[in-house]
Structures are given as C-alpha cells and as structure tokens.
C-alpha cells in the first residue's frame, strides 16, 4: 500500500490566514405519531404536534448548557439550532404526524456518544409528554470536526511560506476533516473574498495571485 501524503492544503476563503481547525456537524430528527380526527371531535384524535413543545424546551436547555461551557480558543462554543418543523394537514383536523429536525455544530474533542445522549433527552421529553402518541428519533448525518496537530509538517511549511498569516479556527465544516481523520494532516488556506456560495461570491485577484505564490513556495519547500 502506498504511504499517505505528508499533508494537504484545502483551498477555502480564509482571508490569507491558515485554518488549523473547524467545526463539525450532526443532523437529527424526531417524529411523533398521533391519530387524525375532525377538529370538532378532539377526543377521537391524538395530537402529534403538542409533544414537540417538550422537545423544543429540551433543545433550549441543551443550547443553554453549550453556551455556559468553556469555549474553544479558536472556535468558540458548540452550537445547536432547529432547522425544520412540520406537522398537520389542515386547520380542522387533529394532526396525526409531526417532524422536527435540528443541527448540532460540534467542536474537536466532543464525542458522538455525547450527542446521542442529547438525542435521548429530546426523545424522552417528547415521548413522555401527556398523551397516547408515539415518538421515534434518529441521527441523519454526521461530519466530524477537525484540528491539525501543531507540529504537522504541512502547517510548518505553510507558515514559513507566509509568516504574516494568523492561525485561525473556522466555523464551517470543510473536506479537510475527511483527509485529516484519514491520517493526512490538513490545513485550509485561501484568498480574501466574500459571499461564500452566494450569487455575488467573489475573491480578490491580487490576493489570489499571492495565494498561488505561497502554494508554489510550499511545494518547493518540500
């Protein structure tokens, strides 16, 4: 088997700084099943939306807990936000189904097991809300956070090629985590720009040329 590369540089708009770490994210879903009935006969139905109130309250508690933890020096706090909420079919019908989805932004050092415990708390809150509904929850998708070792060769060479670059943390997830977690030390580096993924996304041509020269210097340094 061929040896792994000694390092990788992922081109992202880092304002000519060196991204040495970034957050990860996990997506979760909670579904509640009830029973539909006409709004004039609520005793025949089971409301599937009301239990989401308990789930949302638990999400707020977790969000508060994340805020009071000690922040990462470069990445700040882990975060959580609700993303999608669905339920009901029409105004005069007791809702038979509801769905809540949320995203958890993670920090290096957090374990997926801890996130699963958070999911269990949210599931328990909804499942134990008064009523004869049922609840199910699951993890939808995971992308791990990443932090490069401070003594990695690729980081040293890049810093030497552009000494004025600061080492920064990035709030977004990047492909560097896939390489890094596969054993390839990875950093992020790129030009000054703005509007990532927007219709008016741009980068400075002057900065782009500088980044090119820095990358050439890094390659020659090996």
| Mean of pLDDT values over 69-78 | 96
Q: What is the pLDDT of residues 16-65, one digit of tens each?
A: 999 999 999 999 999 999 999 999 999 999 999 999 999 999 999 999 99
Can you give the residue ranges of every domain in the chain? 8-22+146-221, 24-143
In this predicted structure, what is the pLDDT of residue 138? 98
Question: How much is the average pLDDT of 193-198?
Answer: 80
Q: What is the mean pLDDT of residues 89-114?
A: 97
Q: What is the pLDDT of residues 136-163, one digit of tens each?
A: 999 999 999 999 999 999 999 999 999 9
Note the pTM of the prediction, 2 decimals. Answer: 0.90
Per-residue pLDDT reduced to its tens digit, 118-143 = 999 999 999 999 999 999 999 999 99
CA-based end-to-end distance of the chain: 22
Half-sphere exposure of 134 (CA within 13 A, CB side): 3
- Side-chain-facing half-sphere of 60: CA atoms under 13 Å: 6
What integer is the mean pLDDT of 81-86? 97
Indicate the CATH number for domain 24-143.
Answer: 3.30.70.360
Q: Which fold has domain 8-22+146-221?
A: Aminopeptidase (3.40.630)
């Amino acid at each position: 088997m061929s040896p792994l590369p000694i390092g990788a540089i992922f081109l992202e708009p880092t304002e000519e700084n060196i991204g040495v770490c970034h957050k990860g994210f996990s997506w979760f879903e909670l579904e509640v099943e009830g029973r539909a009935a006409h709004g004039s006969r609520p005793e025949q139905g089971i409301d599937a939306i009301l239990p989401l109130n308990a789930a949302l309250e638990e999400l707020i508690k977790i969000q508060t807990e994340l805020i009071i933890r000690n922040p990462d020096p470069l990445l700040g706090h882990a975060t959580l936000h609700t993303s999608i909420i669905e339920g009901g079919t029409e105004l005069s019908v007791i809702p038979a189904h509801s769905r809540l989805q949320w995203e958890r932004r993670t920090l290096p050092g957090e374990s997926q097991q801890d996130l699963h415990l958070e999911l269990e708390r949210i599931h328990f809150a909804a499942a134990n809300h008064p009523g004869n509904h049922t609840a199910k929850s699951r993890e939808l998708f995971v992308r791990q956070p990443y932090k490069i070792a401070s003594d990695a060769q690729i980081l040293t060479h890049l810093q030497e090629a552009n000494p004025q670059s600061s080492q920064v943390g990035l709030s977004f997830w990047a492909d560097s985590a896939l390489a890094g977690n596969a054993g390839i030390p990875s950093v992020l580096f790129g030009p000054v720009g703005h509007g990532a993924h927007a219709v008016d996304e741009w980068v400075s041509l002057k900065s782009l040329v500088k980044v090119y020269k820095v990358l050439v210097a890094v390659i020659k340094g090996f």
